Amino acid sequence: MAEFSGKRIVLGITGGVAAYKTAELARLLVKADAAVDVVLTEAATQFVGPATFQALTSRPVLTDLWDARAPGGMAHIDLSRGAAAILIAPATADFLAKLAHGQADDLLSTLCLARACPLLVAPAMNRQMWEQSPTRRNVRQLIDDGISLLGPGSGDQACGEVGPGRMLESEELFEELVAFFQPKLLAGKRVLLTAGPTFEALDPVRGLTNSSSGKMGFSLARACHEAGAAVILISGPVALPTPRGVTRINVESAAQMREAVLRELPGQGLFISVAAVADYRPAKAEVGKIKKNGKVMALDLVQNPDILAEVSALPEAPFCIGFAAESQNLAEYAEGKRLAKKLPLVVGNLLQDGLGGDANSVTLFDDQGAHPLPSAPKIDVARAIVAHIASMLIPR
Ligand code: C5P
């Protein structure tokens, strides 16, 4: 994917052991079409070498304020001109202190002070250093100055301690940087989503479910978060990682999903119902394991409540979005559901186009008609759906 096509990123590396992870981050950025200019502090060169980054980025790596290779000898000014962002990863406690006080005594700190682009920092340090009041003060100052903090994470540290101060993993930093550049179309909004299948128990080990992977719902949760919304994701049983910054609640059955939705609903501005909720559940779940007996077995099923229809009928209903996965007659069925459940927007797709895979081809149905979106990876489809939702929320 070419998330960073046309963007130049200045990747600053300061002297921490997490610097080895930044090599992987540089590779991910280059793979996503970014032009990456790496700047190492002198301390960083004790942990990683310029040759590694030169090879990964195919661009010169700078370490020295007095480097004669920079055009006009003004690397501290020129590097941030036209850059989409500067990301410092890892950012040591010492470097955060320098940034907070506007010190500029080496190339990286000088170009941060002389920057004309956003600055993001990924702190990495020992737990005590992170928790010490000078660092707390500096971090507050950096946030006040409009600098974005990515992490730190919490966990095992190189010094043998466990706690906050770990640099985020390279994939996490990559995801955060992608999110940073998404337009904040849902800033200040609160979004509740459902995703995945439900599992309707027959006995302690068996149940009825479906092959929904949850990928579309998880991609939408991620896209809503990237767009600046506070997101709660209620998920049926799926084996997917929770998107960063999203609050996840796991459920199994449709009844549990309904209960979680109704509990979390107050104060939500949007409800996006992506889950493939089972239409029916066994009339009775056996306490003990069902035994075979050589005879034909009949299952009594009762219909589950329609969570989306119930939510959209509430007097203070949020803006509700439904999904319709159909095997045929997409337009007719999807528009039928939209009208029946009184929804402003339904996202329809043919089962053969989306189920389980990483890409999807959807059509949006609203009062204005049908809007087909180009077939694309689910995260791109999700971002396009978010853009459409945002355009509907703006009073015309
Ligand atoms: O009627 P159908 O199940 O095809 O409608 C699909 C839409 O309704 C989806 O948005 C799905 O999440 C939602 N739904 C629900 N509760 C059900 C069944 C479907 O919220 N019991």
* DSSP reduced 3-state for 326: strand
User: In DSSP terms, which residues pair with 40 in a beta bridge?
Assistant: 13
**CA–CA separation, 258 and 191 (whole Å):** 16
Return the pLDDT at 79.
Answer: 86
**CA–CA separation, 97 and 187 (whole Å):** 30
Which residue out of 277, 312, 342, 351 has the highest number of ligand 1 atoms within 8 Å of its CB and is therefore the one to mutate? 277
Question: Is a pLDDT exceeding 90 seen at residue 356?
Answer: no
Question: Is a pLDDT exceeding 80 seen at residue 355?
Answer: no
Residues 6+ apart with CB under 8 A from 27: 56
> Mean of the pLDDT values across residues 140-163?
92
Report which ligand 1 atom has the smallest distance to the Cα of 333: 4
Query: Is position 112 annotated as part of the catalytic site?
Result: no
Return the pLDDT at 187.
Answer: 97
Return the pLDDT at 78.
Answer: 80
CATH number of 8-181: 3.40.630.30, 3.30.565.10, 3.40.50.1950, 3.30.70.20? 3.40.50.1950
The answer to whether the bond into 344 is cis (omega within 30° of 0) is: no
CB atoms within 10 A of CB 380: 18
What is the pLDDT confidence band of residue 7, given thresholds at 50, 70 and 90? very high
Which residue out of 193, 274, 301, 307 has the highest number of ligand 1 atoms within 8 Å of its CB and is therefore the one to mutate? 307
Question: Is a pLDDT exceeding 60 seen at residue 396?
Answer: no
Please tell me if the domain spanning 8-181 has the same topology as the one spanning 190-393. yes
Ligand 1 center–CA 333 separation, angstroms: 12
**CA–CA separation, 273 and 14 (whole Å):** 44
Q: What percent of the chain has pLDDT over 90?
A: 88
Element containing residue 38 per DSSP (H, E)? strand 35-40
Return the pLDDT at 65.
Answer: 75
Between β-strands 359-360 and 369-372, what pairing exists: parallel, antiparallel or unpaired?
A: unpaired
Ligand 1 center–CA 276 separation, angstroms: 6
Task: Kindly provide the b/e burial profile for residues 235-248, where b requires at least 16 CB atoms within 10 angstroms of the residue's own CB.
Answer: bbbbebeebbbbeb
**CA–CA separation, 28 and 363 (whole Å):** 31
Q: Around 92, how many Cα atoms within 13 Å sit in the side-chain half-sphere? A: 17
**CA–CA separation, 336 and 338 (whole Å):** 5
Pocket of ligand 1 contains residue 308 by CB under 6 Å: yes
User: Would you kindly state where each structural domain of the chain is located, as residue ranges?
Assistant: 8-181, 190-393
130: tokens are: 């992170």
* Active-site pick, 117, 159, 224, 320: 159
- For 250-265, write each residue's pLDDT tens digit: 999 999 999 999 999 9
The second-level CATH assignment, the architecture, of 190-393 is: 3-Layer(aba) Sandwich (3.40)
Element containing residue 322 per DSSP (H, E)? strand 319-326
Return the pLDDT at 353.
Answer: 75
What is the pLDDT confidence band of residue 72, given thresholds at 50, 70 and 90? low
